[in-house]
Structure 1
């Protein structure tokens, strides 16, 4: 019996999808550039592009056009979501490829103390806050403990891309403070993705003792498999691709590795982004590909797929929810806990390492940036049903506000660090402080 061919996508559905994609990309790029002009992270403008087209603005201003452009049919929106998922997986993979573990080796114990203190305190405070938030903010079938654990993970992460861009803009990338912040951020990233995968697995399978054990063991097994089996395979594949003078094979192999890793962890019930991150790290640490050959992949992801992804993330935000007193109060409480936890944790870790209070404050300011990573975490929570529209909006707002806070606080703290150094060493205003520059590191 001959099989019936799958019908092609309908003419109208394809038209709507192409217009959605084009309009989101146009607004994301334009508003991202506007944000950059005002010295804000581009992600702020990219998210706002989605906010303009979503329930916060367009649905109120032009409801008929909004219903036509963003119809409620799941199949239509799944087309846009598929592009967004591809974008976020490759973005996380590229982030893994960009991590520099030599920073961690050079900064060692200090980076570890700052990172762990800056992780544990907001994690604990986030879990406690999640348990205290009104049950009305949670989706009906969400386990309160799973939600609390997820909120804790969302509040403990940091965003390497935002941190690195801030440090570059302020000429701090190769200073001791910049190097320590990035090294601690690398550790944050690794632990954060691991915790996200664990909590996501718990949300999928439940909180029985056996399921919790499985949720903890699976990510460990994935990492061990990546080190013992994936490492030599990736090295062979990249070495073969690098023999070509053209960048195409290297880009294709790197993307293939990330996508296969994502599929593997997704099949295990873990988050696909965890596999993408692990494979990105593998490409960076064992393949050692020519970075010039990977440049086309980074450009495509950062200039096209990532802006579209963050614009689709903005579509899910509903800022009108903040007009409700309960939601606004919850947003203020979560933001306060996020900032206090990260600042206090990083500050404590820095002081334990013998750094001064202004250096510790600078580290706290850098680590407080959550940007890209927290938006990805929020989207994962929304997709898994752990977050509702209100809690999703709250977490994305935390990502935006903390990223906007970092530059002015970091600038003020570093000014005091240099003033103190000049006072103690009798230096002139134009001379460098005691935090000597380090050899350049690519981020």
Structure 2
């Protein structure tokens, strides 16, 4: 007779109740504070992060330690339940980001975008690595390799956040301007390279920093990229075509989720960051000619209105702003913020000047690409997960992400008021207004900070 003693026990009832309450409280606060942030002219991610800060160690744990400790106990098993939901959301979000990467536009303006992106990447990356070696050991997690930590700080300082940038440009009615298009194109390249670097650093943090291990990581990266471009592309195309032909409601969305999760699992198995695998899978889905991404819009809405805000609220939950009361931590936080802004701004500015853009256009370019937003928050969470960042350093990196996103609108306004509208830009604006469906699609896409599928309008109108 078979015994049932080997059956895995279910989640304890108390843990399940606490999880439901955690998700409900975080989502409610994220929704309310996210809307409040938008009304105040800030990106919604600022409010969603604040939701976690309010109920986390920065506030609730101090003013009401009893209820705070019961609702958000610092127990690994309970936190892992909550983290798993947030990780699902961010994997799907990065999949959608890759899905709506406009490769045609990248090819059309690739030369100029490459120069601007290279300049906007190399300088802040170099400054970040240099700063990473200077930062005190108390900002580095115990046991973390100093070189891997420095490389991670460099990558965190060199990325941009295309979703936040696109939202800002649309709100300011600058998406039709040449500078607006170039900001998004260069930012997209920066993000793609940034995820490549994050995945390599994740592999180094997992296996250690040795010449053989680094070479092996590069070989695995090449294998992943080649597999994605060949076998992966063929498998994804067949799966999405079969889902579309089945005429079963929701099947394309389910298929896309399965593919992105498999892509994340594959990248993780190769010791890279799982979100990078989902990002690559999204690119393949978006470039498949037979895929109608509009069928995935309901899934996109669910991810961006439920799962992604939950992730950012969970990210805020890990922040402890009281750590900034330490003068040394606060001083180094100011240094990190100052160098992050200086490096990205100057790099993009120089890239614009060397690409024959005017001084004010280059200034606008630097202001727009300086916004880190959601991408740097995700990278900060990666740093915690692989054991590189302390709570203090994590809080500093997330604050840099929020503050740089808040800086972008006023600086963009200052610069673009001095850039004359060209005849081509005026015609492009007219076309965008004429294609009202396209405009509505863009607005829906970035209203929550995410890319969205858009029909191809006539002329060189940018997909956001």
1:426 match? none
Q: 1:157·1:370 contact (CA, 8 Å) conserved in 2?
A: yes
Gaps spanning 5+ residues in structure 1: where?
Answer: 423-430
Q: Tell me which residue corresponds to 1:214.
A: 216
Q: 1:253 maps to which residue?
A: 255
Alpha carbons of structure 1 residues 380 and 287: separation in structure 2 relative to 1, 3 Å: farther
Alignment-derived partner of residue 367 in structure 1: 369
Q: Identify the match of residue 278 of structure 1 among 255, 276, 280.
A: 280
Q: Which residue of 2 aligns with 1:9?
A: 11
2:129 maps to what in 1?
127
CA deviations over 1:352-410 (Å, ceiling 9, x no partner): 11110100011111111110100000000001110010110010001000100111101
Is the aligned partner of 1:174 residue 2:176? Answer: yes
Alpha-carbon shift at residue 244 of structure 1 (Å):
3.9
**Aligned position for 1:102:** 104
Verify the 8 A CA contact 2:176 2:425 in the aligned structure 1: no
Matches within 5 A, 1:89-238: 89-238=91-240
Q: Is the 8 A contact 1:101 1:183 kept in 2?
A: no
Distance of 1:10 and 1:87 partners within structure 2: 24
Q: CA deviation at 1:432?
A: 8.0
Match of 1:439 in 2: 460
The 3-state SS of whatever aligns with 2:418 is helix
Q: Offset at 1:74? A: 1.5
Match for residue 425 of structure 1?
none
**Cα contact 1:247–1:293 (8 A) shared by 2:** no
Q: Give, in whole Å, the separation in 2 of the partners of 1:247 and 1:213.
A: 46
The answer on whether the counterparts of 2:428 and 2:460 sit within 8 Å (CA) in structure 1 is no
User: Using the alignment, how far apart are the partners of 1:86 and 1:149 within structure 2?
Assistant: 26
CA shift at 1:314, angstroms?
Answer: 0.1
- Single out whichever of 246-255 and 192-201 deviates more from structure 2: 246-255
Shift of 1:442: 3.1
| 1:206-355 equivalence runs, <5 A | 206-286=208-288, 288-355=290-357
Aligned residues: 433
For 2:442, the equivalent position in structure 1 comes to none
1:427 aligns with none
How far apart, in 2, do the equivalents of 1:10 and 1:308 lie? 22
Deviations 1:98-137, CA, capped at 9 Å, x for gaps: 2111221221211111111000100000000010111122
Tell me what 2:446 maps to. Answer: none
Counterparts of residues 377-416 of structure 1 (less than 5 Å): 377-416=379-418
- Does residue 77 (structure 1) correspond to residue 79 (structure 2)? The answer is yes
- Of 144-153 and 246-255, deviating more is 246-255
> How much has 1:289 moved relative to structure 2?
2.1
Asked whether the 8 Å contact 1:176–1:435 carries over to 2, the reply is no
SS in 1 for 2:403: helix
Distance 1:403 1:435, change over 3 A: farther
Tell me if structure 1 keeps the 8 A contact 2:138–2:390. Answer: no
Deviations 1:238-264 (A, max 9, x none): 111112445411101111110000001
Report the CA distance between 1:291 and its aligned residue: 2.5
Contact 1:114 1:184 in 2 (8 A): yes
Structure 2 Cα separation of the partners of residues 52 and 42 of structure 1: 16
Distance in 1 between residues matched to 2:127 and 2:292, nearest whole Å: 42
Normalization by structure 1: what TM-score? 0.95
C-alpha root-mean-square deviation of aligned residues, in Å? 1.6
Using the alignment, how far apart are the partners of 1:393 and 1:361 within structure 2? Answer: 28
Q: Is the 8 A contact 2:177 2:425 kept in 1?
A: no
Gaps of 5+ in 2: 430-458
Secondary structure, counterpart of 1:417 in structure 2 = coil
